[in-house]
Amino acid sequence: MNLENFNNKFKDAINILKTFNKNGFEAYFVGGCVRDFLLDKDFSDIDITTNALPEQVKNIFPKSIDTGIQHGTVTILVNGESYEVTTFRKEDEYVNHRAPDKVEFVSDLKEDLDRRDFTINAMALDYKGKLFDFHNGEVDLKNKIIKTVNDPNERFFEDALRMLRAFRFSSRLGFDIDSNTLVAIKRNAKLIEYVSIERIVNEFRKLLEGKGNINSIQLMLDSTLNSYIPFLKDIEVIEDFSEYTFCQSLYILSKTNNISFDDLKSLKLSNKELKQIKEYEKINTDFKNDIQLELILYKYDIEDVRFICSYFKYEDESEIEKIKLPITSFNDIDIESEEIIAFINRKPGPWIKEIIVLLEYEILLNGLVNNKKNILDFLTKMRDNI
């Protein structure tokens, strides 16, 4: 243990553990931050586990938020940082292969670590940096192995989401999955149907982001776990998604595997995400219909256009960079709707929109200079032609 490194990485949080101790409680760093610390990776969240009950935690740290009080979790705020503090607990009443709504608090650190999913996630550190590792997590970290704490069949039977979590950690860390753990996933795969789609999507998102995503997705397909999950069930063709955003990855997956928009909807994404994916489809359709690049850039966000353009190889990236649009929205056109109405001298109606579209087109593609005089000249010619 490198003490200097420990002090550096956990900084102010060490005092939080000491404060618990002074008040007569045990408290440890636990889970992801311990794993990432031992891997010498950066982490942002520090989770703390303690034998203090949530009310006692709140007494010691008055600045707190009840983030998951029914699970024993309180978020405390110290020096502008937030920390999740969870009371030692066990989850012994799993119903329908899901994490229970109610938990039982326990007094022993080991029991708390026993309920955790994988050996590499089941380690704790005290304020001196002493490691508590009852399941050989450190060895599995060294060997780059994802292995359940205790019998994998039982653990997946209790909470089926853990199967997907195995692939997401293997993706994120580039680790293999222990062979017994993998066999148990194959055996229990169907139980994932009991898990809510929101929890599934949350893990799938992280799986896609990981540097080992291709391997892990392939392992998931081989295990047939995906065949019990909407949208994922139709995935056959995969590629490296780690450089793409979640929405971009889903769009690519839906295109390369011919998955319909309705299937995508069953993932219950946010409206914002659905809108984003629809936007990609609109841009793609415009490119397929040979709409001019200027018009596409005018209509859509440049980053979205870049993504579609480069993924589907419609144009060279340099073509996009070359284009400097004279206007970026109809507000930029150097004439107001009222002036158009006065000039054409007709009752307002849908024709105004048509004129604006025409002006956009002329300015973007036909070199009409965007100033009032030129626009009025153009409208005069047009009026004379009507």
Residue ranges that bind Mg ion, judged by CB under 5 A: 32, 45
The least CB distance from residue 155 to ligand ATP, in Å, is 8
Per-residue tokens: 50: 């303690």
The least CB distance from residue 177 to ligand ATP, in Å, is 16
Evaluated on CA atoms 243, 244, 245, 249, the torsion sign reads negative
Angle, CA of 31, 36 and 40, to the nearest 5°: 150
- Contacted by 161, from ligand ATP, Mg ion, none: CB < 5 to 8 Å by type: ligand ATP
Per-residue tokens: 67: 């983030």
- Contacted by 117, from ligand ATP, Mg ion, none: CB < 5 to 8 Å by type: ligand ATP
- Contacted by 207, from ligand ATP, Mg ion, none: CB < 5 to 8 Å by type: none
The least CB distance from residue 237 to ligand ATP, in Å, is 27
Q: E strands within the chain?
A: 27-30, 47-50, 64-68, 73-78, 81-87, 89-90, 104-105, 124-125, 131-132, 145-146, 176-177
- Contacted by 99, from Mg ion, ligand ATP, none: CB < 5 to 8 Å by type: ligand ATP
* Nearest residue (CB) to ligand ATP, 85 versus 161: 161
Q: At what angle do helices 302-311 and 246-256 cross, to 10 degrees?
A: 40
Per-residue tokens: 90: 């066990």
* Nearest residue (CB) to Mg ion, 45 versus 316: 45
Nearest residue (beta carbon) to ligand ATP: 32
* Nearest residue (CB) to ligand ATP, 102 versus 346: 102
* Nearest residue (CB) to ligand ATP, 9 versus 162: 162
Give the end-to-end CA distance of the chain in Å, rounded to a whole number. Answer: 84
The least CB distance from residue 32 to Mg ion, in Å, is 4
The least CB distance from residue 45 to Mg ion, in Å, is 5
- Contacted by 178, from Mg ion, ligand ATP, none: CB < 5 to 8 Å by type: none
* Nearest residue (CB) to Mg ion, 206 versus 284: 206
> Is residue 326 a contact partner of residue 294, using CB atoms and an 8 Å limit?
no
What CA–CA distance (Å, rounded) separates 133 from 131? 6
Contacts to ligand ATP by CB under 6 A:
31-32, 47, 99, 116-117, 121-122, 159, 161-162
* Nearest residue (CB) to ligand ATP, 29 versus 280: 29
The least CB distance from residue 162 to ligand ATP, in Å, is 5
Q: How does DSSP assign 296-357, residue by residue?
A: HHHHS-HHHHHHHHHHTT-S-HHHHHH---S-SSGGGSSS-HHHHHHHHT---STHHHHHHH
